[in-house]
Structure 1
Amino acid sequence: MRQAGRCWWLFLSEILTRMGFAAMEVDQSLYIFCNGMDTIAIWIHVDDGVVASNSPSAVADFKRQLCAEVDIKWHDTICQIVGLEWAFGEGEVAIAQRRLTKSILKAYPRPIVKSNCPLPVLPTPGMTVEGETLEPTPFRSVIGSLAYLVSGSLPDLAFAVNYLARHSMAPTKTHWCILDHVVGYLLMTQHHQLVMRPGKVSLNLWSDTGWGGDLERSQTGFMLKLGDAPILWSSKWQGVVALSTCAAEYVALLDSTQHLVQAISQLECLTQFFDKTIFCDNQAAVRVLIDNLLRKHMRYLGRAFFFVNDAIPGYPVLVRGWVTVRVFGGVLSFGHHIDATTKYFVLEKTQL
């Protein structure tokens, strides 16, 4: 029984290979089929999948061949997959997780504090909160459910959930009060959703860090957007201690650029012409990124952290700097909003 999942994957992979599909090297769950101008992309998750194509006739032919091999349930539109609920409107697609959200709100064991901000005013994030340790199981249960929400459709809660998850082994009354605030924000925004609309195909990466806001390590926050729609985001501790704001921003660029390169590899299977842009709000980090001679000032980071310098020349990526943070990286790395107009500074060099 332990090998059942692997046996199913090998069986399905063999069928798709015979049909002319090829699994992507960077993502073995994504299969691509190309025949002239017809392209089919299939994403597989265990025994569920999503089929996308620019040719209805190619999809009909694929469906006929697949039905001859296995018994399948075919739906012309996506309603729900891996907990994500899809809604199709006029010229847009909306993604939400309302069922899980309602389940969290209904099962929450404490009074909910309604809030329009993900976090209350906190002391230094890295400050250890003293107090009696409470039973961790209910706390971890709520944090785990919130973490799944964050990974699917709630980037604005990424920092808050990541911060509380660090204390999930020994939560105190203070941590529970902060969690009340987070769940209250979820209550106020339960009808929000991610909306995707057709437009120019482009990949925009927003990277930021909160250096000095923690006594141990800096916080990395990034968001990757396809056109105007966020498709990937993260907020987490950095894996190394940075000695300056420049180094902290550069480490954040390393973490985020790896995801950008993977997204480029996936998207290039479907279209060859799209813009790729990296936004960073630290001019010193941008200079290090585009000039290898400046890396000597951060030798202590190790060779692995200079992946971003080696990756940029291999892709036509435009690197831009931004001075102020409003929603994107600031929410993920600092945990608060800054109402300001975004301004850009001129770069010394652009690698094309």
Structure 2
Amino acid sequence: FEGEAVPVRRRVVGKSPPEAELRAAQLDKHCCPRTWAEFEAAGKALLENWDSLAAKNLLMQVCQAFPDEQYQAGMFRRGGVVGTLRSTWSRSWLAAICARLLKEHDPDCTFTSVYLSNSLAKDMHIDVSNLPGSQNCILPLCLPKRGGDLWVELGYGDVVTGPVVDHVDTRGKVRHGVVHRLDEDEVFKFDPKRYHFVTPFKGTRVVIVGYTSDVLGKASTDDLDGLADLGFQLPDSVYLRAPRQAQEEEEKVGLSAVQSTPVNKGGGWEETFPVADGFVDFRVNWSLSHRSVLKGTLCQVTVGLGWQACVSSTAVQNGAAVVGEVAAAASQKEGLYRRKAPRLWGQFRDSCLCDLSWECDGVTFRLEQSSLDPNWWKVLQVKDGQVVGALLVYVDDFLLCGSSVVLRSLAQALQHKWATTPLVVATPEQPIKFLGVDILVVPRGFVLSQQSYAEEVLRIHSVPVHVRGRIPCPRELASFEVVESDAPPTSEAVHQAQQVTGALLWLSQRSRPDLAFTCSLLASLATKAPHRALRIADRALGYLQRTKSASLVFVADSTQLHGWSDASFSPEGSRSHAGWCVCLHGCPIAWRSARQAFVTLSTAESELMASLECAVALESMQALLLSVGFSVEDRELHVDSQASLAISDGHGSQTTSRRARRLRRMQRAIEDELASQLQGMTLDDQPCVQEQP
């Protein structure tokens, strides 16, 4: 660096002009590299005699010399194709400098790729090819005076530290986010799966971005070793291999199996590989636990959940390195496995629960899976087989039901098997949340509420606070058929209609039966009349705004399993609409509102169809309750149609000549239920209830 000498003043009168301070930092054009060859020579010399400030200045010179170029190096993914960018090896010195600067400023950051952004501003986007759960690391080298910061979308549970700024994405949806101010030489991390963009700016903006590509278990060992040599801090997950890729890696590093035996219990295999200093006994099974035993040059590793792993002969020479690498990979594989192979995770989880047994106060307990619903489990006493509790699972969430002693002992057994969050017990003061449903204890029962989920749905769809509807769907829009006024469907409208329908379905199927008809209508119109479906959804969201605190109260009475059915005969001149609800001890446990499968020709026939569907639902609920150890003594079916009751009793069989075959089949189905000696079903006339004006 050369510059003019600035005379030292004996007395500081005021601030020095900016030009006087900047002249000493100006670079001499005659000593700056101008071509890539000159930059390469300077970069390699810098890597041998490292200096952070000189490295930053060199990157700034590169960006000034080539203002229209952006540099990217490391792993890439295009669909299912995974590899390394050519620029990684053609300008490896530049990749090494970027990686080293990132590590110096944040030793904990991990990345498979680096990107030197040279005054480039991207629109709102998400990084679809990045590994879920990873973080992008941004190291600013030079920032403009104004702008150039990062707007990141807010997520559920975020702590808002600044003003919320709304932006509209490419699909027209409003996104809520916060602008994060960037500082030079300070690393900023964020989730790449959230929408983000660079705020507008003028001037020079140079940043290094480190990110992790989702390599899908297909990254080759040579590529990973090459990136590690360049200084990339690779996450442990990139070493997990897909089965086919692992086999290719074995052949590539020259490891041939001299002994291969299957592992019968739980599935998997064992293989022994010869290496330079001995043998590696490698075992893969379905166990979550991992253990590493080092005996001289023999390293025995057990990896869970069926992940294959390949070790090269160079890595095996240092046994401790192999142990650490595989153990680190095993510590992350459970979450990856649940996300990418939920079905296999469910099979493994169920096998562990089947083998689970524990003792409490001298009593041994075990779990038994329901034969109808694999998510339901009975808690049994081993001695007499008495049911003392229940367990409901969903992927890796557990809901425990039973006495306090049984709950805590079962929780300890599960925590001994897996690392879980602390046990939370529902109390009148503190509810528990399971699958988005808040469960609160009240005298003699429970309350199920989804108010927090409803508020989140209203926030996501930007429903104003003053919009409060009285009904979820107006009569003029409640048509299942496409009418002339419906606009032709578009892909964007279909996507938005399906999105809001799914959000409302999660409510209607769990704690809000009052939304069942509206959700049935939305599901039918989402693809064929999406614009009208969106209008209905707006009305339903307004109704949800008014009734978001509505909840189901479960207080048991003396009744058993009861079902109510009703039907609206051909409201639009075509198929009828039916609805039914099943209650256990006066508490609703199942309901449905939908169009009937075919056209009926009379009110009696439509009511008979609805009652038959409710009878099937009663059978299903009874079978499910029996499978988890709860017996039901009697069932009752309530129907509000005398004509359908007459057909069910057999008195109307002589007057159904036109539809004899179909009606008699339905009649005989209900007659079989009435004649059953094991669990009888009683049909009762339910008179129509009229609302008082």
TM norm structure 1 = 0.80
Q: Are residues 141 and 305 of structure 1, via their aligned partners in 2, closer, same or farther at CA, if it must alter by over 3 Å? A: farther
Instruction: From the CA coordinates, give the structure whose radius of gyration is larger.
Output: 2
Aligned match of 2:435: 82
Q: Distance in 1 between matches of 2:529 and 2:348?
A: 41
Q: Distance in 2 between matches of 1:101 and 1:66?
A: 31
Q: Distance in 2 between matches of 1:172 and 1:70?
A: 45
1:39 maps to which of 388, 391, 405: 388
Q: Distance in 2 between matches of 1:60 and 1:102?
A: 32
Q: Distance in 2 between matches of 1:125 and 1:253?
A: 24
Aligned match of 2:362: none
Aligned match of 1:104: 457
Q: Distance in 1 between matches of 2:651 and 2:420?
A: 53
Q: Are residues 30 and 81 of structure 1, via their aligned partners in 2, closer, same or farther at CA, if it must alter by over 3 Å? A: same
> Whose relative contact order is higher, 1 or 2, with alpha carbons under 8 Å and at least 6 apart?
1
Aligned match of 2:521: 163
Unaligned runs of 5+ in 2: 1-339, 359-364
The residue type equivalent to 2:432 in the other structure is: C
Does 2:642 correspond to 1:283?
A: yes
TM-superposition CA deviations, 1:202-241 (whole Å, max 9, x none):
2221101111213331111111122232221111111122
What is the deviation of 1:143? 1.5
Does 2:396 correspond to 1:50?
A: no
- More moved, 33-42 vs 286-295: 286-295
Q: Are residues 14 and 124 of structure 1, via their aligned partners in 2, closer, same or farther at CA, if it must alter by over 3 Å? A: closer
Q: Please say if residues 114 and 187 of structure 1, whose CA atoms lie closer than 8 Å, have aligned partners that are also in contact.
A: yes
Q: Distance in 1 between matches of 2:560 and 2:580?
A: 16
TM-superposition CA deviations, 1:9-66 (whole Å, max 9, x none):
442343248954322222222122443455222222122222222x544444444444
Aligned match of 1:21: 367
Aligned match of 1:313: 675
Aligned match of 2:553: 195
What is the deviation of 1:172? 5.9
Q: Distance in 2 between matches of 1:239 and 1:136?
A: 24
Unaligned runs of 5+ in 1: 326-337, 342-352
Cα RMSD after superposing both structures: 3.1
Aligned match of 2:622: 264
Q: Distance in 2 between matches of 1:280 and 1:340?
A: 22
Matches within 5 A, 1:108-257: 108=461, 113-122=467-476, 125-131=479-485, 132-133=487-488, 135-171=493-529, 174-257=532-615
What is the deviation of 1:162? 1.1
Question: Which structure features the higher share of helix residues?
Answer: 1
Q: Distance in 2 between matches of 1:6 and 1:233?
A: 27
Aligned match of 1:339: 691
SS in 2 for 1:122: helix
Q: Distance in 1 between matches of 2:533 and 2:553?
A: 32
Aligned residues: 328
Q: Distance in 1 between matches of 2:369 and 2:502?
A: 31
Q: Please say if residues 463 and 541 of structure 2, whose CA atoms lie closer than 8 Å, have aligned partners that are also in contact.
A: no
Q: Please say if residues 247 and 298 of structure 1, whose CA atoms lie closer than 8 Å, have aligned partners that are also in contact.
A: no
Q: Distance in 1 between matches of 2:629 and 2:559?
A: 11
TM norm structure 2 = 0.43
Q: Please say if residues 202 and 274 of structure 1, whose CA atoms lie closer than 8 Å, have aligned partners that are also in contact.
A: yes
SS in 1 for 2:453: helix
SS in 2 for 1:31: strand
Q: Are residues 71 and 308 of structure 1, via their aligned partners in 2, closer, same or farther at CA, if it must alter by over 3 Å? A: farther
What is the deviation of 1:91? 3.2
- More moved, 249-258 vs 145-154: 249-258
Q: Please say if residues 389 and 406 of structure 2, whose CA atoms lie closer than 8 Å, have aligned partners that are also in contact.
A: yes
Q: Please say if residues 511 and 552 of structure 2, whose CA atoms lie closer than 8 Å, have aligned partners that are also in contact.
A: yes
Q: Distance in 2 between matches of 1:244 and 1:272?
A: 37
TM-superposition CA deviations, 1:279-331 (whole Å, max 9, x none):
11111222333439839754236858854443343322221111214xxxxxx
Among the aligned pairs, what percent are the same residue?
21
Q: Distance in 2 between matches of 1:30 and 1:174?
A: 39
Q: Distance in 1 between matches of 2:645 and 2:519?
A: 29
Q: Please say if residues 258 and 308 of structure 1, whose CA atoms lie closer than 8 Å, have aligned partners that are also in contact.
A: no
Q: Distance in 2 between matches of 1:142 and 1:324?
A: 34
Q: Distance in 1 between matches of 2:395 and 2:601?
A: 44
